[in-house]
Structure 1
């Protein structure tokens, strides 16, 4: 029996472009980096707690270069390919640590990507991934629905529900799987600033069939809806749910 076809929701090319744009924007002094910085801080704390000091590591999606630099300072040989197909077997393996920032929110075959990450580890190796989860961006979602109340277009990614993550990790063969979530709340004076922050951090649209840009009238409705949620000081709170998945490859290499 043939396996069911995987829906092509996301574009690998657009996923790479948004990471490239985030790396370019990160060089600017006023670029938003709070999500990347939160993920990197969390990674370093977990590695210190686990006393995991890899000799060979693979880091994907670190637009700031901070984690790569820190691991190299600790003596690790770190690979950071500019582009890597997460939905295909990795060209090399034997990594004692793999860290992925923000890329797994836009893959079509998430179970397959998790299996490929496990297979690229050395026996006993550790994998850690962070990405934005399903409870994120309620204010932006509401603004998009207000912009096109009759026929809303797909403008925001379908995001992973953390409740489904444990089952995905078990199916992928991760050992000692752990799923953690936490939230960041950021307050914005305008919808436009929120959108700019998303683009700065590689969270722009990676849909395979993106909708056409909003027209002037629809954009005005979106801005008004976003502003209507503001507190007394004129700023609207937006929520980012960060999902962290950690696990290992067994010592037997299975």
Structure 2
């Protein structure tokens, strides 16, 4: 096992199938995250420039919703992240009625059985109690309602993560959580089932963006409001460690044209709230044809 593989494993955020205590969920400083997102959204021109990643993922989430051949009446897009972002484009007009509400993803205010669909594009990564949030989403849906979401997966920014960790080992004789922990697709599948969803679908995609250097990448992450908000983070990164990380990044992962790639792994998920009409999986052993014969 090489050093890069070992360090990448530290990126994953895992969940137990046994309900943990409330304190076990305190991974992120949500107050700090709100301030980060507010500051980012307040810079309206700059925040629009760095919307390229969120726009791409949102389009793929929308495609999944449009693939469902059904007219939806009440749909919640859970994901502005803060009041500034929620009202950044308040002057825009839409073909449907839009109500803007600032809510906390960990304490949803929606009545039980009140929504036909909930979509969430890159907003659940900063939720401490992800299992609880999914349960609340399922409860708010009407029977046979659908939840469609997207989250960053555990391999997101592995190039940046490993480069900083190697630089800290070299310059500071230790590592600290510089990029937030993330989950993986197997965790999401279990969490959806545990939250009471049925007919679940989880798939993973990767989006790679090239930057002139690690400095431009980190500048864009800050402008997106996606800076580190882990409770145990160090307050700053020393200049010599940062320079070393940028050099390691280019050496380990750099492209031939001098740019550096940044990988964003995105986990897409779909889950349905059970209803009387929900199809049930067939019993084990009830198949009347062999998969071997079909293949």
Same fold (TM over 0.5): yes
1:93-242 to structure 2, matched below 5 A, reads 93=112, 94-149=114-169, 150-228=173-251, 229-242=253-266
Q: TM-score, normalised by structure 2?
A: 0.75
The reply on whether 1:6 has 2:30 as its aligned counterpart is no
Alpha-carbon deviation of 1:42? 1.0
In structure 1, stretches of 5+ residues that fail to align are none
Distance (whole Å) between structure 1 residues aligned to residue 239 and residue 63 of structure 2:
45
Change in 2 beyond 3 A, CA 1:173/1:66: farther
Q: Deviations over 1:7-41 (max 9, x none)?
A: 21112222323333443345438621222111221
Aligned CA distance change for structure 1 residues 15 and 233 (closer, same or farther; 3 Å) = same
The alpha-carbon deviation at position 201 of structure 1 amounts to 2.6
Alignment deviations for residues 151-181 of structure 1 (CA, whole Å, 9 cap, x no partner): 1111111101112211111000012211111
Q: Deviations over 1:192-228 (max 9, x none)?
A: 1111222233322222233121112111111211222
CA contact (8 A) 2:213 2:250 kept: yes
**Residue of structure 1 equivalent to 2:107:** 88
Cα distance in 2 for residues equivalent to 1:140 and 1:80: 35
* Offset at residue 67 of structure 1 (A): 11
TM-score calculated relative to the size of structure 1: 0.86
- Determine if contact 1:118/1:127 at 8 Å carries over to the other structure: yes
SS at match of 1:181: strand
| Contact 2:202/2:267 (8 A) holds in 1 | yes
**In structure 1, how many angstroms separate the alpha carbons of the residues matched to 2:137 and 2:178?**
29
CA distance 1:29–1:135, change in 2 (3 Å): closer
Q: Which runs of 5+ in 2 are unaligned?
A: 1-18, 279-295
1:34 aligns with 2:52: yes
Paired with 2:224 and 2:241, the residues of 1 have a C-alpha distance of 25
Aligned length: 250
Once the two structures are TM-superposed, the CA of residue 86 in structure 1 deviates from its matched residue by 2.0
Which residue, out of 3, 28, 36, partners 1:18? 36
Deviation at 1:251, TM superposition (A): 2.9
> d(CA) in 2 for partners of 1:33 and 1:171?
33
Secondary structure class of the residue paired with 1:14? helix
Change (3 A) 1:99 1:72: farther
Deviation at 1:236, TM superposition (A): 1.1
Equivalent-residue separation in structure 2 for 1:246 and 1:198 (angstroms): 27
Cα separation, partners in 2 of 1:202 and 1:175, compared to 1, 3 Å: farther
User: What secondary structure does 1:87 align onto?
Assistant: coil
Question: Within 1, Cα distance between the matches of 2:23 and 2:276?
Answer: 31
Q: Comparing both structures, which one devotes a greater share of its residues to strand?
A: 1
Contact 1:47 1:53 in 2 (8 A): no
Q: 1:86 to 1:198 in 2, by over 3 A?
A: same
